[in-house]
Amino acid sequence: MPYTFAPASAASQPLFLIEAAGATDFIAGRATAEQRWLAAAGFTGRLGQFVLLPALDGAPAAAVFGMGDAVARRRGRFHVAKAVEQLPDGDWHVATDLPPAAAEEAALCALLSAYRFGRYKTASASKARLKAPAGVDARRLEIIAASEALTRDLINTPASDMGPDELEAAMAALAADCGATLSVIRGEELLTRNFPMIHAVGRASPRAPRLLDLRWGSEGPALTLVGKGVCFDTGGLNIKPSSGMSLMKKDMGGAATVMGLARSIMKLGLKLRLRVLVPAVENSVAGNAFRPKDVLTSRKGLTVEVNDTDAEGRLVLGDALALADEEKPDLLISMATLTGAARVAVGPDLAPFYADDDQVAGAIAAGGTGVADPVWRMPFWSPYESVIEPEIADLDNAPGFGFAGSITAALFLRRFVTDSPRYVHFDIYGWQPTAAPARPKGGVGQGARALLAAMPEMLGL
């Protein structure tokens, strides 16, 4: 499905975006017949109101959409998507002057409204297309929308068709499309190459665990992205209940999100040296599965007591982060669907992140606000370090603290980053639980657009 704007030269019909405070003046400025039509429809500019204005022959001549007021708009985002989804087929243009950020959000949500996951069932989207509003970088937004669609497709695909083999194939296709290189370490080679925790988590599955390593770019600052690629998580021997397993196809949402972000970076041609690491595994139950109370020795040399085999994501990320840290990139970012505690803390709509560097954290927060990709900074709270230190090993993968589960997981990961100057960790959900404007129920990217917007400040691009 193409994520493109209507050509600027195409004939198009106007879409008016009218705030409640300006509704009376807007109506007064229309022709008498349209005034009567809007009055009959009860149009007041309330957020979400949609009215088609007919021509004399009955065909749609224009559309009017209520934008409410600032208080109403703060209760959601991508409001213009509701208008785009109701437009008749054809090409349209926004006929209202918008501030730059609002114009960009309107344009992006028009593109994202076209997303449908149609691999297993025919899913039709509106054929209405919007022109890019004046001043908007149309190519950039088209790239971002297509990258978000990649992330959604990967998360939405069930584990039967998105295991470690298929995730590797998706990474290979991304590399080929963007001129990157990909190397893969699979199966028993993980042990000989010193990735013992990735191997331990994935060894019980008939689909071999692996580490995917994509590289792109030869100049500029070094950026390494690490994404959790647990293609399905049964919980291992600490098996999840059926209710906890129902959404575990999305446990590779961190991998899907960094792949979407990497696609945007490469397609936009940012001047940096990019590396993407994805430990791709399936956490299964079998006779050779790793066990509670096993002690694993990580690539970093740190020993880890396994107190819950369902806390496997931080294990595979630990080995991948250790490898990333050996190169000391200018910025190291991990993204993972890591803890339920993060959802308890901030719900499904916010992407919590951790960063010790205030300048980096500020750039990410500002970037998220500017591109309607909400994020929230959480603390690397060092006083909790003792919580993740058991008696018989350096680290505990599932401390019985009972509090601050997302923070202690982030502290666990930070132990594997000792040499890189700046590290950021995102504990995302990767799932839209109910349909919302431009976000159908299902897989969704979180934090990627915020990070992309923050790249110039974080890396001096």
Residue 147 contacts residue 257 (beta carbons within 8 Å): no
CA distances 230 to 97, 196, 313, 336, 457, Å, are 45, 16, 7, 9, 31
Catalytic-residue membership of 131: no
127 is catalytic: no
- Distant-in-sequence, close-in-space partners of 60: CB < 8 Å, separation ≥ 6: 13, 52, 53, 54, 88, 90
Catalytic choice (116, 140, 215, 240): 240
SS3 419: coil
Contact call for residues 273 and 461 (beta carbons, < 8 A): no
Q: Cα separation of 118 and 111, whole Å? A: 17
Residue 428 · residue 351 · CB < 8 Å: yes
Q: What is the dihedral of CA 249, 172, 338, 386, to 10 degrees?
A: 150
Sign of the Cα pseudo-torsion (190, 195, 200, 202, in order) = negative
The C-alpha atoms of residue 225 and residue 140 are separated, in whole angstroms, by: 21
In the set 314, 414, 415, 449, the catalytic residue is 314
- Residue 277 and residue 226 in contact, taking contact as beta carbons nearer than 8 Å: yes
Q: How many Å apart are CA 411 and CA 254, to the nearest integer?
A: 18
> Are 218 and 274 contacting, i.e. CB atoms less than 8 angstroms apart?
no
Strands laid side by side in the 90-94 sheet: 50-54, 60-68, 13-19, 90-94, 128-130
Is the Cβ–Cβ distance between 395 and 388 less than 8 Å?
yes
Token representation of residue 280 = 């791709």
Looking at the annotation, which residues are catalytic? Answer: 240, 314
